[in-house]
A = this chain, B = another copy of it.
Amino acid sequence: MNALHRVVIIGAGFGGLAAAKSLAHSAVEVTLVDQRNYHTFQPLLYEVATGGLDPADVAYPVRAIVGRAPNIRFRLGSVTGVDWQERTICFAGTNVKHDATSEGCADDIPFDSLIVASGVVVNFFNVPGADTFALPLYTVDDARYLRDHILLRIEEADGESAHFLDGTLNFIVVGGGPTGVEVSGAIVELLDKSMERDGFRFERSMARVVMIDSLEHVLNPFKRSAQRYAEKTLRGRSVEVMLGRMVSKISPTEVELEDGMIIPTRTVIWAGGVTARGTIASELGSPSIPSGRLLVDSNLSVTGYEGVYAVGDAAVIPTALGSNQVCPQLAQVAIQSGRHAASQIIAHIGGGTLKPFRYRDKGIMATIGRRAAIAQLRGGLVLQGTLGWAAWFGLHLVYLVGFRNRVTVFVNWSWRYLNWTSGPRIIVGDHDGLDSSVANDSLATAGQQLT
């Protein structure tokens, strides 16, 4: 029936999507599986979390990217297992709850080649209370929830002077990597601009932004001078930077450090690290590092599993053949490795030999906020301040998927930097303190309670 080589790609992040796009219009039949119907531009999630961008600005429908390629089929749902004998994945679609027979696998998808691009999930490192009370920032849902949460705390503090003292306005960021630095800087801007324009009735000085990291410096992969610039700029913008300190416990009302310091807060943002999804590595019987990411050969194939590749954050990838260095967890690595895995499959079908992956370092970037970013280029040159910010701004616009997203992000950002009157600072979700039943019904109730 079907003579075409069948490729299944798990995950439509940077890695999986790059692989799928590389295979579009080739003589292979591709099935791309993801639990969401959109690709997430993760580097800008912190902007969504702080009311600078809309969720839709950083999310792009997968079907809009690959839907017109006749050889790619997108399936919305989860992978619940792999049958290595039959070479099939077991797929559970969105309708799986409506099926009477949830035993066994209702929907097997066969593959000749498999690309694991399932990414990573947040890692709370077993800090007590973190998985329950800390707020991660890794998905669009996370970011939207965090935006609503932060805005609700500010509204609350405005209403009740008592809340000045109980930590309602204390925002704690755990982690001093790029995400921690970016979200800290953005919360400060949100507070500054909101105070100025939004008619809040409390003192800006009542609100604190505290960034905590166990290392002695921020932005670990950057050069020392860039780290110092970031730290100084954050402090200059009133972020309390606490380095060399560990969080030992998180509760709904406070965060505790290992040295005994207690900070009252209702908002602990977790930018503390990631770990591989599930335990695919150990189940594969393949070597993996403690974080669960897959160890791959220099050509990206998982040892002992013919035709199985791992790319992006899900894999630990040597920077080049014979190198002892591994690639950092960056979008660029995911994109390049996704493309490479696709090319390996095409080479394999054509009877060619597999080639080693070689990472082309294009540099790293992080932003602290308005006119303050760091771009560390491959040669070691560091751009910072306004110039760094311009480079960061331009590059992120270029890499956003789709014309519409580029335009709306440009408009949102430009307007925000010029004027700040119209960021999407709206609270739309179902939240503690403003659940939908209250939102929908309480005026109705109000009427009935009138006396």
Contact = CB atoms under 8 A, between A and B. Distances in A.
Interface string A133-144: 000000111001
Given A64-B197, A199-B74, A438-B78, A447 B38 contact: no
Given A197-B67, A428-B141, A446-B78, A156 B94 contact: yes
A167 to B, nearest CB: 12
Nearest to A148: B37
Nearest to A421: B64
A261 B352 CA distance: 62
The 9 A-B pairs with the shortest beta carbon distances in the complex, nearest first, are: A278-B447, A67-B199, A283-B450, A56-B424, A404-B422, A78-B442, A63-B198, A278-B444, A67-B198
Contacts of A56: 54, 56, 424, 426
Interface stretch (A95-103, A174-182, A229-237, A296-304): A95-103
A277 interface: yes
Interface of A: 10, 35-38, 54-57, 59-61, 63-64, 66-70, 72-83, 92-98, 107, 118, 121, 139-141, 144, 151-152, 155-156, 159-160, 163, 168, 194, 197-201, 277-284, 402-405, 407-408, 411-412, 415, 421-428, 432-434, 436, 438-440, 442-451
Contact of A412 (B198, B404, B436): B404
Report which residue of A201, A445, A446 has the largest number of chain B beta carbons within 10 angstroms of its beta carbon. A446
Contacts of A415: 403-404, 407
Given A64-B421, A278-B446, 4 more contacts: A36-B439, A55-B428, A67-B200, A93-B159
A402 B95 CA distance: 40
A451 B85 CA distance: 10
A323 B54 CA distance: 46
30 contacts: A10-B443, A35-B439, A37-B151, A37-B427, A38-B427, A54-B57, A61-B424, A63-B197, A63-B425, A64-B421, A67-B199, A67-B200, A73-B201, A75-B159, A78-B442, A78-B443, A78-B446, A80-B442, A80-B445, A81-B450, A93-B155, A94-B433, A95-B433, A97-B432, A98-B433, A141-B428, A280-B447, A404-B422, A407-B411, A408-B412
Contacts of A151: 37
> So how many copies of this chain end up in the complex?
2
Contact of A443 (B35, B64, B155): B35
Given A82-B450, A415-B404, A95 B64 contact: no
Contact of A60 (B200, B201, B422): B422
Nearest to A278: B447
Contacts of A280: 446-447, 450
A168 B402 CA distance: 30
Report which residue of A152, A279, A280, A421 has the largest number of chain B beta carbons within 10 angstroms of its beta carbon. A421
B198 A64 contact: yes
